[in-house]
Structure 1
């Protein structure tokens, strides 16, 4: 089955089951059901960031900004049924890896069809991070007072603006899953920045419901995507992305 037909199947599954999926996740953040379609059988471990992205290195970590705690990529997983994980999303990633391998970002661009698939892939990462942040509790931060009641609350309640409410978190979760069911990403094309890179290592950072930056050193390309900002011109998105990237690396002392 072609990737397009598999994605048709994926979108249909989400549209039919999205209310049940979100209601289940809200009701039980640790529910053992597929985070995409709600299936409870044939569950697998879906990596929040795919293993191939960081060359399956079990020592690589990422830091949650709210906790300041490092977590290994290979152990950061969510439940997904075999069909959604391996058959559909696995096929999407294999298709994109093939596109990355055959395209030299320094001399040519990706087709609009491929760019839309990249956007879909980045939207799946955003949705998975939102679910993950509902499943993780706020830990004690070094040098700060720890309040047991607050410690039992999901990290997602502390992401974004200071007045983030549970209702807003759940609304964002619904919207991020719904985005996966929308076929055309044409309105979002200007929100995706494709960057040629010579860096030798994988880099990643993201802000929930705002943006994601992911650098694929193996393929000489990086992507910065604004989840909810629409730009009239891609050049404007590139300027905005550059400011955020520079601030991020400045904060890291690099």
Structure 2
């Protein structure tokens, strides 16, 4: 089956099982079902950030901005059925890595269809983070005392404004999954910044509901994607993305 046909199947599975999946996750944040289709058999560990992105290095970590704690990439996983994980998402990632290796941004660019698939991939990562942050407790915020009541609450409850309600967290989760069932990403093309990079190492940072930056040194390409914002031009998005990246690398980012 071709990748496009698999993605049609993926979208249909999400639409058919959306309510079941979200209701199950809200009812039990650690429920052991496929987070995409709700299947409860043949489950696998779907890494939130694919292992090939960070060269399968088990020592690499990322910082959770909410509590400032480090977590290793390889242990950051959510449940997904074998079909969704290995057949559909695996095929999507194989397609993308082939394109990342094939397209030289010095003289070429990605097609609209390829950009749609890159955006889908980044939106899948966002949805996985929504699920992950409901499954992880806040625990101790670095530099602060541990407060048992707060520490046992999901990280997701602290990702937005201080007055953000649980219903808003669940609404964001619901919308993140629904987004994956949308075929065309044309309206969001300007929200994706693609640049050629010569940095020798992988870099990543992410803000739930806001943006993601992922730099793939092995392919000399980096992506900055705004999850919610829509821009009238790619230059407008690039200007804002540059400001955020500069703040992040200067150590003043949030």
TM-score (norm 2): 0.98
Partner of 2:121: 121
* Bigger Cα displacement from structure 2, 100-109 vs 231-240: 100-109
Give the aligned partner of residue 50 of structure 1: 50
Counterpart check, 1:160 vs 2:164:
no
Q: Deviations over 1:121-162 (max 9, x none)?
A: 000000000100000001112331322111111001101222
> Unpaired segments of 5 or more residues in structure 1?
none
Q: Distance in 1 between matches of 2:142 and 2:204?
A: 24
Q: 1:91 matched to which residue of 2?
A: 91
C-alpha separation between the residues in 2 aligned to 1:126 and 1:89?
Answer: 14
The reply on whether 1:109 has 2:103 as its aligned counterpart is no
CA distance in 2, matches of 1:164, 1:212: 21
Deviation per residue, 1:150-177 (Å, 9 max, x gap): 1111001101222221011000000000
Return the TM-score normalized by structure 1. 0.98
User: How many equivalent pairs are there?
Assistant: 253
> Helix, strand or coil: the match of 1:59?
coil
What is the root-mean-square deviation in Å for CA atoms of aligned residues? 1.1
How does 1:1-254 map onto structure 2 within 5 Å?
1-251=1-251
Deviations 1:31-61 (A, max 9, x none): 0000000000000000000000011111111
Deviations 1:85-136 (A, max 9, x none): 0000000000001101110122221111100100000000000001000000
Partner Cα distance (1:204, 1:18) in 2 = 29
Moved more, 136-145 or 87-96: 136-145
| Deviation digits for residues 207-243 of structure 1 (CA, Å, limit 9, x no counterpart) | 0001000000000000000001001101100001000
Distance 1:203 1:44 in 2: 26
d(CA) in 2 for partners of 1:76, 1:7: 24
Inter-partner Cα distance in structure 1 for 2:142 and 2:34? 34
Conserved? CA contact 2:69–2:142, under 8 Å: no
List runs of 5+ in structure 2 lacking aligned partners. none
